[in-house]
Amino acid sequence: MDLDILAVSTLHITIAAAIKVVAFVFLTILPLVALSVWAERRVSAAMQDRVGPNRVGPLGLLQPVADGIKFLLKEDFTPKHVRKGFFWLAPALTMVPSLLTCAVIPFGSSLFGEKMVIADLDVGPLFVFAIASLTVYGIVLAGWASNSKYPFLGGVRSTSQMISYEISLGLSIVPLIMIYGELNLGRIVQDQAVNGWAMLPLWGEGLGKNLLLWIPVTISFVIFTTSMFAETNRLPFDLPECETELVAGYHTEYSSMKFALFFLGEYAAMIIGSGLAVTLFFGGWSLPFGWLAPETGAAAADIPWWHGAIHILTFFAKVIVFILFFIAVRWTLPRFRYDQLMDLGWKVFFELAIINVILTAIILWVIK
Amino acid sequence: MTILFYIFAAIAIFGGIGVVVYKNPVTSAFSMVFSFLGLAALFIQLDAYLVGTLQILVYAGAIMVLFLFIIMLLDVPQEEKRSFPLTAGVGALAVGLGLIVALMIVLKKSGVGEGTLPKLEAASGKGLTDIHKIGELLFSTYWFPIQIVGLLLLVATIGVVVLSRKELR
């Protein structure tokens, strides 16, 4: 890229980035959080043959708004025995990293010549894992700062759980990176748009002309998704806050908006996790069978705006399907025991992920 | 862009000061996390995305979490206030100043400080981004040191496992 052009367009880049942050993070992810809370309650109700919240607004869609107002208006009570500074810091620390990870996820191809990703980094997945690994501070500090037994146990549990599953989460996507030879999420999606999604290599060159690679990719996907459940503290791995053992875990002492921030952080992490899974395994913003797929190396300006709009809608449609999958799993499976959780992480997924890397290397070597 | 540099440099420095100044071990550890984050941001400003990201992933996200975990589990008590010996203060100041002077001399002599360095992509010549460049170097020029370091880590890991097994006689 020419350095002069870079200098001239700095202001333009800054403004475009600001618009993308507002449009993607504040106008899409946060409403999606509210919507997924509503979906969680409605889907769980449907699965348990109940009605669910259907009174506020059409189909109960305004329920999250009512919940938000309730959270804001409730008394923000800070118990006497807590460590004040960290007690205040902890909820923000769970919310902020979740939203920061949005920056590298490509939520569309391009619109009006502008790439639909906030930061087009060459270390996309690594950046997501790096920032996501900071979420643990919020939980561990919440547990410690609360200065009482159950929150502390919840915080300790979550620390060891998140560290354990971070390893298999990171290792699980190594085969994909080996196959694409690329850490830039935008280019990974572009490749999938033309050559078939990682999990559905049915058109184009289909994962380098060989369906054999579909085996390691599937193993990767299973490890990745399961680890994502553990990382976001969702059932069946919600040990840090399991109510039958720990009252409410790390957020027992929290009330009002501080509690809401933990809640929002968890759902935001779930949405970003879905976004990453969709991006890596299901072709991100691309339509199946190469429909409307931009040619590899096409300039952002060459993509018509309505293609871009369809790509954005496709991405969010896939993310919503994935969120529904998250919800369905939560209301289907019972909670794991803590030792089972640790055994699964260290004795099954860790080894499986490493074997998977070697398997991918062997397959790639044979194909070449 | 310069203002961002000063913000992140300030975060890194004040985090570092916090590690030393705070008496509470948890606060100290947490200051260190902030220092690492500031440092990572500085790396990213230098176009070293991989180094910056690894700084967060490994140091801030994994090692410091373990530190914090152990501090909390062992319930390390708050440090007592001690009188600060004057000689130690003078010594620290002298070492710090000496380091700064030495750095300034080196930078002046090498001429690195004059003018802006080329962008990393331009410097590598092939338009490679830093992550590809690092990968290439690791598996071509430096493959032997990498194997040695890997072996060293393996030995250390086995050592830890052996030492932490209680029933071993």
Q: What is the pLDDT of residues A207-250, one digit of tens each?
A: 555 677 888 888 999 999 998 888 887 777 777 666 667 777 77
**Given the structure tokens 């969709």, which residue do they identify?**
A278
Taking the domains of chain A in order of start, what are their residue ranges? 75-367
- ipTM score of complex: 0.78
Banded model confidence at residue A2, pLDDT cuts 50, 70, 90: very low
Region of residue A235 (left: phi > 0; alpha: psi -120 to 50; beta: else): beta
**Which residues, in sequence order, are bridge partners of residue A111?**
A114
Banded model confidence at residue A368, pLDDT cuts 50, 70, 90: confident
Q: Which of B20, B51, B77 delimits the end of a domain? A: B77
Q: Which domain holds residue B149?
A: 122-169
> How much is the pLDDT for A297?
66
In chain A, DSSP assigns E strands to: 110-111, 114-115
Structure tokens, B114: 């004059």
Is the CB of A129 less than 8 angstroms away from the CB of B57?
Answer: yes
Cα–Cα distance for residue pair B110/B106, rounded to 1 Å: 6
Q: Which burial class, exposed, middle or buried, applies to A75 when counting CB atoms under 10 A from its CB (0-12, 13-18, 19+)?
A: exposed
Is the CB of A122 less than 8 angstroms away from the CB of B30?
Answer: no
CA A229 to chain centre: 10
> How much is the pLDDT for A367?
79
> How much is the pLDDT for B123?
56
- Are B72 and B134 in the same domain? no
pLDDT digits (tens, 9 = 90+) for B97-146: 999 999 988 888 887 767 776 665 555 555 556 677 778 888 888 889 99
Residues of B with CB below 8 A from A131's CB? 56
Q: Determine contact, residues A240/A154, Cβ cutoff 8 Å.
A: yes
**Which residues, in sequence order, are bridge partners of residue A197?**
A200
Q: Decide if A155 touches B, using CB distance below 8 A.
A: yes
Interface size between A and B, measured as CB pairs under 8 A: 69
Residues of A with CB below 8 A from B15's CB? none
> How much is the pLDDT for B13?
92
pLDDT of A66 > 60? The answer is yes
Residues of B with CB below 8 A from A163's CB? 62, 65-66
> Is B98 contained in some domain?
no
Give the CA distances from residue A325 to residues A10, A44, A47, in Å, rounded to whole numbers and listed in that order: 41, 12, 13
Q: What is the CATH number of the domain that holds B19?
A: 1.20.120.1200
Is the CB of B26 less than 8 angstroms away from the CB of A3?
Answer: no
Cα–Cα distance for residue pair A294/A286, rounded to 1 Å: 9
Mean pLDDT of A59-74: 84
Residue scoring higher pLDDT (A179 or A203): A179
Q: Determine contact, residues B18/B24, Cβ cutoff 8 Å.
A: no
Q: Determine contact, residues A252/A246, Cβ cutoff 8 Å.
A: yes
Is the CB of A129 less than 8 angstroms away from the CB of B129?
Answer: no
pLDDT digits (tens, 9 = 90+) for A190-202: 888 777 777 777 7
Q: What is the DSSP letter of B127?
A: -
pLDDT digits (tens, 9 = 90+) for A275-310: 888 988 888 888 877 777 777 766 666 777 788 888
CA dihedral B140, B145, B151, B153 (to 10 degrees): -110
- Among A121, A130, A155, the residue with its CB nearest the CB of B61 is A130
> Is B114 contained in some domain?
no
Q: Which burial class, exposed, middle or buried, applies to A331 when counting CB atoms under 10 A from its CB (0-12, 13-18, 19+)?
A: middle
Give the three-state DSSP class for A109.
Answer: coil
Alpha carbons within 13 angstroms on the beta-carbon side of residue B109 total 6
Q: Determine contact, residues A113/A301, Cβ cutoff 8 Å.
A: yes
Q: Which of B42, B62, B77 delimits the end of a domain? A: B77
pLDDT, averaged across chain A: 81
**% of chain A residues with pLDDT over 90:** 4
Q: Which of B19, B52, B77 delimits the end of a domain? A: B77
Mutate one of B33, B39, B47, B49 to test the A interface: name it (highest A CB count within 10 A). B49
**% of chain A residues with pLDDT over 70:** 91
> How much is the pLDDT for B128?
55
Cα–Cα distance for residue pair B7/B152, rounded to 1 Å: 38
Chain B, nearest residue to A182 by Cα? B132
Cα–Cα distance for residue pair B162/B148, rounded to 1 Å: 21
Structure tokens, B31: 């200051």
Closest approach of A291 to chain B, Cα-based (Å)? 31
Cα end-to-end span (Å), chain B: 60
Global pTM reads 0.83
| Type of residue found at A306 | W
**Which residues, in sequence order, are bridge partners of residue B10?**
none
| Type of residue found at A11 | L
Interface of B with A (CB under 8 A): 26, 30, 33, 49-50, 53-54, 56-57, 60-62, 65-66, 68-69, 72-73, 119, 121-122, 129-132
Q: Determine contact, residues A94/B25, Cβ cutoff 8 Å.
A: no
| pLDDT tens over chain B, length 169 residues | 678 889 999 999 999 988 888 888 888 888 998 899 999 988 888 777 888 888 888 888 888 888 888 887 777 777 676 677 788 889 989 999 999 999 988 888 887 767 776 665 555 555 556 677 778 888 888 889 999 999 999 999 999 888 887 765 5
For helices A256-281 and A305-330, give the axis angle rounded to 10 degrees.
120
Cα–Cα distance for residue pair A176/A125, rounded to 1 Å: 11
- Among B57, B65, B131, the residue with its CB nearest the CB of A130 is B57
Cα–Cα distance for residue pair B33/B60, rounded to 1 Å: 5
Cα–Cα distance for residue pair A98/A109, rounded to 1 Å: 23
How many CB atoms neighbour CB A12 within 10 A?
Answer: 10
Is the CB of B72 less than 8 angstroms away from the CB of A122?
Answer: no
Number of domains in chain B: 2
CA dihedral A57, A271, B44, B124 (to 10 degrees): -130
> How much is the pLDDT for B102?
93
Q: Decide if A129 touches B, using CB distance below 8 A.
A: yes
Structure tokens, A262: 């933990």
pLDDT digits (tens, 9 = 90+) for A244-276: 677 777 777 787 778 888 888 888 888 888 888
- Are B64 and B126 in the same domain? no
pLDDT of A31 > 50? The answer is yes
Chain A, nearest residue to B29 by Cα? A137
Is the CB of A133 less than 8 angstroms away from the CB of B53?
Answer: no
- Are B67 and B129 in the same domain? no
> Is B103 contained in some domain?
no
> How much is the pLDDT for A334?
83
> Is B159 contained in some domain?
yes
Is the CB of B26 less than 8 angstroms away from the CB of A136?
Answer: no
